[in-house]
Every structure is written in C-alpha cells, then in structure tokens.
Structure 1
Amino acid sequence: MSNLTESPISSSDWIPGTPVATRGPRLRRMNWLVWRQHRVGFWTLLAVTAFCVAGLVHQRSDLIHQLTTHGWPSAPSDQWLPTVHLQRFQLASYGLGFVPIVLGVFLGAPLLAGDLENGTAKLVSSQSVSPTRWLGTKLGLSALVVVVCTTALSVTFGRWWEPVKLEPTVLGWSDGPAFDNTGPVPVALALFTVVSGVAIGMFLRRALISMAVTFAFAVAVQVIWHFQRLNLGHVVTITTHKGIGPEAFPQLPEAALEMDRTLISGSGQTYGWGTCAHEASTKTCAQKFDLEGWSVDYLPISQMSSMQWFGASILFAMTAAVTVVIFLRGRKRIV
C-alpha cells in the first residue's frame, strides 16, 4: 500500500549504532531512522508546500499590481474592486481548507498503524530504543513538518488576502475560507487532525481502516468548528434612540459582522426586526409599539486575531491531551 508515510526500510536500519549516511538530512540515530522511513512523504509535503507558496506569492504580486494601477489604497473600493479575481481567492481558500483532512488521513492515520500492521513496531520493541522515544521521535518529526508546511501556507495566503480583507465580497473575515486559512488556525487544525489520526491508527492497528475512520473524524471536526467559530468572539451591542427609519439605523464599524438586530421601545422591550413588516407605515408601527430605536449585535473585524488565537489554543490543548493518550497507550502496549 502506498501513502504519505510508508517507505520500506531494512532491519539493519533499526540498529541504534547504524552509521549516518552521507546523503540526506544530517540527523542522528532515531531522528535519522524515522526521517528515512518517512522521507518520501515528508519531502512530498515540503515540495507541494513550496509550490503552493510560490503560487500564492505570485498571486499577491499580481493583485498588488492590479490594485495600484487603479488607485489603491487611496481610491474608493468601487474603482479597484472589479479588478480583484474573486474566483482565485475562492479556489485557493477551498483547496487550503482540505489540507488538515489530507494530512490527517495520509500522514496521521498510517503513521503508527502501518508499523503495527507490517510488524515494524515489533522490530523496534526488540531494540534498545524505548517505545516512548520511538513515539516521541515519530510524532515530533511529523508535527514539525506539519507546522512548517501549514505556517508557510497560512502566512502567504494571509499576505495575499490582507489588501482586500475589509471587502466582504472577496472573502468574509468570519467565514471559513478566510478565518480558517490565516493566523494560527490552520496550524492548530492540522496538528489536531494529524495527532488524532495517529491515535486512531494506534487503536485500530490497520492502516486502511484507520485512514477511513480518520477521514470521517476530520470531516466531523470541520463541521463542528464551522458551527462554533463565531462563539469565539465577544459580541458588541450598539443601541440608538433616534427612531426606526432607515436613516436612524446605527453605523457599524467597517467590515463588522452583524449578528442580530432588534427594535427597542421606550420601556426597554425588544421586538424582532420584522415587527413592522405588515404595518401600514413605519410611523404607525412606531406609535403602536412605542418604538424609538435599534439594538444591533455585531462582531468587529478587530476581534479576528483574538478569536483565532482563542480557538487555536483550544485545539492545541486538545492536541496535547490526545498526545498524552498516545504515550500512555504506547508505554503499556505498543505491539
């Protein structure tokens, strides 16, 4: 079976005293052995990441050229916004959104399941290397590659999107395509999915089954994250007492995400924003319900970074918890 983590090695490679080869990464002993075992997958991930980063850098350069040609940033957005290729942002963001799933399925799930299935784990247990060190090295190198790749993608995609981040018609800052592909979120999502895949593989001990279960798990994580994303922020409320006409509606900060709006009466009672939909006129409705203003809940774009770090910290904590489970399980039963 071929996947990102399988690369056959001979039994002599697992002798702790094996000399380090003159080619490849200058790693020693267990680090070198683990890298050599999974070198095809690691180098593939690094190469694909480098290719994607180069493409994102080129897209940013092209975007800046188009924007400055049409007067950005001093000119109003209606002059330069039509030059932005929205489809490119959408395609790139959707593609990056699958990265945690792909890494979890093809890197995390078979990382230990493959060794348990083909007997490599038994060979490790017969050497002087402890299971804890073996697990730590495999998880550490894999996590390092994941962090390097996802950080590079996050930074370059964020720099590409930065000039137009205030325009919701390009990518809404609170939506997954922007929120989940910038800052620490893609790193945290990928690490959690990969480590969870490793745990699933350790318990199921079959690579293909582990990959299928990890895929379902990763999709479930994405769905749950989608519905909980906005709960990471602190909702801000703004109220007015200048009437309920369109001209009296409060002015929200630029790029703010409106969460809810209600009508408020003189006594402080709130009514749904559609209360006046079936009334003869706004004035009649205001008199009938004693309405005198608006109450609007929103999330400002200034909270985006804090929301991302808060969500990422939760994912990092969950990743650490799963890692502890892996080591506890590995100490008790690795073969």
Structure 2
Amino acid sequence: MKDSLRNGSLRNGSLRNGSLWNGSLWLAWRQQRVLVGAGAALLAAAAAIAVYSRSGMLDALHSGLFDHCGTGPLYCTRPDTGLPVLLDTDPLKYLGMSNIALPVLIGVFWGAPLLGRDRELGTHRMVLAQGISRGQWFASRIALAAATTVAVSGLLAGVLAWWWRPAADRSYGLFWYDNTALSGSGPRVVAAALFGLAAGTLLGLLARRVLAAMGLTLLVTGATTLLLEWSHRTRLLVSPHTYVSAGSVPKPPMGEKWSTGHYGLITASGRHDDVLNCPFPSGAELRECMAQHGYVARFYEANPVGDYWTFQWTDTAVLGGLALLLTAVTVLLLRRRI
C-alpha cells in the first residue's frame, strides 16, 4: 500500500499538481480493482449458468410434459404414474440465495476494509498530506465501491428475474413468495447490497482493526437479513388480505396467493373464530355445523401476487434508508476518526 503511494501517485505528482480528485480516484481504483474484478467474475459466472440452465428449462417446458399442468400451489402429477412433475429449479434457487447473501459478502469483504484498512495501517495520512481532503478521500472510495455494487447487484437481480420468468408461479416451478424469489430478485437486492456496503464502511471506520470490523459487519448484516426474512413470514410490514366465502359452496382456489395459514369462520356479528370449530370441507356437514354455531361465512388470509411489488418496495425503502443513514453517519464521523 505504502509502496503504491510512493511509486504511483506521489512519484507522478498527480496528487500534488492540480489533479487531486483524479489522483484520489486513481488510487481508489488501484486499491479496489481486485474486488471489482471479483464482482465481474461472479456476474459472468452467474450469467453463464443462467443461460445454460434456462435453456434446459425451456426444453423441458416445450417437451409437452407440463402442458396439462395448471397454475396454483398444488403439485402437477404425471397422468400415468401419479408422481409429481417438477422443473429443476435448484440452480435458480442457489442464485437467489447468493443474492440474499450479497449484502453480507459486500459488507464484510468490501465495506469493512474500505476505510478500515488505510486507518489500521495509517496510510491515509500520506494521502491527506498531499492536499486531498477527508471528503475527497472518502468520496473517491465510496463512489467506486457503490457504483460497482449497484451494477453487480442490479445485474444479478436481473439475471434471476430473466431465468425465473418461464417457471414463475407454477406448481412445477417457483412461486413469487419463495424467499429465494422474493428476496433474491428486484430492486431490494440493490438496496440490500448498498446497505451492506454502508454498514461495513461505517464499522470499518469505527473499529480499530479490520478483522474486528469484518466480524461486526457479519453480525449486523446477517441479523438484518434474517430480520427482514422474518418480517416477510410474519407479514409485519405488508399486511395480508382477508378473503371471505360462503360455507355452502366450495371456496375459490387460492391460486398464486401466499397464505398466512390463518383460516376461520365468521359469525353474523363479524367475530372471527378458528376453523377447527367446524373442521369439515364444503358440504352438508359444514353447513350444519355453521348453522348450529351461527357462522355465516368462512375466511382466510393471504397476500395476492400483486403484493410481490409491495414487499419489494417496502424492503427497498427500509434498506435504502438505512444505507443513506449509515453513509451520513460515516461522513459526520470522518473528521473525528481520521
């Protein structure tokens, strides 16, 4: 690091002779080019796997094996054996899991050392001594890291969406509410990646050692990721819809809705009771039980397929807001810590 400063920017005079900002960007590139290359390699590998696997998926769909399958969560079975027929979506799910883990990886391996490495080694003093301000030193590093993060995460989310589309919301494919699809695609992937970068950068500035910052970043980003997954399952941030049907006829199929698992019965006064009070399918027994207990309808709670975007934009707002807040705190602390 010190040699690169002496033999590069300082020797060429780029930090001294009227090109301070360009010199700072050049130094940021020198320090981060391996990580930029790793991100490009990851993206290229994901795209190659997606092209290959999606081609096989389309071949299977065009074979006619799935022509009799309808939409909905119920398994589609082979007419001759009764066994379920499924597409091989495991590689697609692996990409989704990688996208979910992206903020943790970016935060630990990019964000934490971004300022922390220079601070630990003391090499930032050599840069600041050449006339570079703290703001320029920080901005050049965060600009390159953030631009690469947005590009890589956005393209990875796009690759997953393109790969997923032929099998989206089908019994033989992958439903929108599967965590690898819901959290591994869309704009929330970009916001989550930026949050990981911001969290790692702040902790790298605060911690005395880069390894300590990496450990703290792992805990913070991992806990935030798990907390958001929990909020999806509990519908903490996106409330489910209540669907009502008469007990005298079969209820409409749920289709692509994401059920909360909360079913029940409704009295004339509007009270909601547990479905086990009348645990019968539609028919005479159910009608008799409902009449005996004064129930007038059934209900269940679920999120419709349109709520995919509600989840996406809610997560994006939360994670993007956290990323902006953590970045602002980092800027405010620069003078005290550097």
Secondary structure of the equivalent of 2:264? strand
1:7/1:333 Cα in 2 relative to 1: closer, same or farther (>3 Å)? closer
Q: What is the aligned counterpart of 1:82 among 77, 82, 85?
A: 85
Secondary structure of the equivalent of 2:169? coil
Task: Give the CA deviation at 1:291.
Answer: 1.6
Task: Give the CA deviation at 1:61.
Answer: 2.1
Structure 1 partner of 2:323: 319
Secondary structure of the equivalent of 1:292? strand
Structure 2 partner of 1:24: none
1:18/1:82 Cα in 2 relative to 1: closer, same or farther (>3 Å)? farther
Task: Give the CA deviation at 1:12.
Answer: 4.1
Task: Give the CA deviation at 1:15.
Answer: 3.4
- Aligned letter for 2:41? A
Q: What is the aligned counterpart of 2:265 among 243, 263, 266?
A: 263
Structure 2 partner of 1:272: 274
Paired residues, number: 317
TM-score by length of 1: 0.86
Task: Using the aligned pairs only, state the percent identity.
Answer: 24
Secondary structure of the equivalent of 1:295? strand
Task: Give the CA deviation at 1:19.
Answer: 5.6
Structure 2 partner of 1:306: 310
Task: Give the CA deviation at 1:181.
Answer: 0.9
Counterpart Cα distance in 2 of 1:48 and 1:8? 30
Counterpart Cα distance in 2 of 1:16 and 1:269? 79
Counterpart Cα distance in 2 of 1:250 and 1:83? 25
Task: Give the CA deviation at 1:137.
Answer: 1.0
Q: What is the aligned counterpart of 1:101 among 101, 104, 108?
A: 104
- The answer to which of 58-67 and 124-133 deviates more is 58-67
RMSD: 2.7
TM-score by length of 2: 0.85
Q: Does the aligned pair in 2 maintain the 1:66–1:83 contact within 8 Å? A: no
Counterpart Cα distance in 2 of 1:239 and 1:16? 75
Structure 2 partner of 1:9: 4
User: Which deviations, in whole Å up to 9, do the C-alpha atoms of 1:129-181 show, x marking residues without a partner?
Assistant: 11001101111100111111111110011111111111266433223211111
Counterpart Cα distance in 1 of 2:172 and 2:273? 30
Secondary structure of the equivalent of 1:271? strand
Task: Give the CA deviation at 1:108.
Answer: 0.8
- Aligned letter for 2:192? L
Counterpart Cα distance in 1 of 2:187 and 2:205? 27
Confirm or deny that 1:196 pairs with 2:199: yes
Structure 2 partner of 1:329: 333
1:131/1:71 Cα in 2 relative to 1: closer, same or farther (>3 Å)? same
Secondary structure of the equivalent of 2:263? strand
- Structure 1 residue runs without a partner (length 5+): 1-5, 21-26
Counterpart Cα distance in 2 of 1:169 and 1:271? 34
1:309/1:267 Cα in 2 relative to 1: closer, same or farther (>3 Å)? closer
- The answer to which of 211-220 and 92-101 deviates more is 92-101
- Structure 2 residue runs without a partner (length 5+): 16-20, 71-75, 79-83
Counterpart Cα distance in 1 of 2:137 and 2:231? 36
Secondary structure of the equivalent of 1:261? strand
- The answer to which of 167-176 and 45-54 deviates more is 167-176
Structure 2 partner of 1:45: 39
Q: Does the aligned pair in 2 maintain the 1:200–1:210 contact within 8 Å? A: yes
- Aligned letter for 2:54? R
Q: Does the aligned pair in 2 maintain the 1:16–1:30 contact within 8 Å? A: no
Confirm or deny that 1:241 pairs with 2:246: yes
Q: Does the aligned pair in 2 maintain the 1:179–1:185 contact within 8 Å? A: no
Task: Give the CA deviation at 1:71.
Answer: 6.8
1:266/1:8 Cα in 2 relative to 1: closer, same or farther (>3 Å)? farther
Secondary structure of the equivalent of 2:176? coil
Counterpart Cα distance in 1 of 2:101 and 2:37? 19
